[in-house]
Structure formats: C-alpha cells, structure tokens
C-alpha cells in the first residue's frame, strides 16, 4: 500500500514558521500530484495547497502569500513551508496523493498537528 508520512508539526507562536514534510513510499513508483489539507477541531477538512508533478502550484486564499508548497521528486517528498503563522492555522495537516486541486485523491497521510499559540 501507499504510505504518506507527514512530519514537522509542532507548537509555534503567532508569526512563526514551520516546514511540514510528506514522504511517500510503498507501492507507488513516485509522487505525482499532491496536496495539503488541514482540519481544525469541529471543522471540516479544507484544502490548503497543491502541486503537480511538474511543479505547478495552487493555494487556498487563506494561505496565499504565507505558505509555499514544493517538492523534491528524488526524495519522493513534498513540503509545506508555513510562514507568518496565525492562530487560525491551528489544525491537523494532512498530505494527500492523487490530486493537486479539490476533490482530493484517495491517499492520505496520518496527519501532523500544527498549533499556533502564544
């Protein structure tokens, strides 16, 4: 089976930065279209950003100009650089394989918690 493992979450103060990673392994040859989603307590999972195999990117309005999605195909890894973090960014962040735009693909990572609090 496909495995997607997120890492890099943690507790940061407002205005701080984190870089999330998603390493893909298992039955897939390599990463293709990927996305990041997040889910805050009591809310539905929402789209954050996506990237194609060629590197085209897309962002939700709420994170434009603050977050950057990128990939390292040689490492089968996608990243989400998160800058100028806000309390509203607090959520579990999930890596998704199969689509760079909603609706998401079929494969999800386990999630990594990002908490933005002073």
Question: What confidence score (pLDDT) does residue 67 get?
Answer: 98
pLDDT of residue 31: 67
Mean pLDDT of the chain: 94
Q: Give the pLDDT confidence of 9-43 residue by residue, as tens digits.
A: 999 999 999 999 999 988 766 668 999 999 999 99
The pLDDT tens digits for 34-55 are: 999 999 999 999 999 999 988 9
Q: What is the DSSP string of the chain?
A: --EEEEE--EEE-TT--EEEEEEEESS-SS--SEEEEEE-TTS--EEEEEE-TT--EEE-TTTTTTEEEEEEGGGTEEEEEE-S--GGG-EEEEEEES-SSSSP-SEE---EEEEE--
């Amino acid at each position: 089976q496909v495995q997607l493992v997120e890492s890099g979450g943690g507790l940061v103060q407002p205005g701080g930065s984190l870089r999330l990673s998603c390493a893909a392994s298992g039955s897939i040859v390599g990463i293709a279209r990927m996305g990041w989603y997040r889910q805050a307590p009591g809310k539905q999972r929402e789209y954050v950003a996506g990237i194609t195999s060629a590197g085209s990117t897309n962002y939700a309005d709420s994170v434009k100009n603050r977050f950057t999605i990128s990939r390292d195909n040689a490492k089968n890894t996608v990243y989400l650089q998160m800058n100028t973090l806000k309390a509203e960014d607090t959520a579990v962040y999930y890596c998704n394989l199969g689509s760079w735009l909603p609706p998401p693909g079929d494969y999800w990572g386990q999630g990594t918690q990002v908490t933005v609090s002073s």
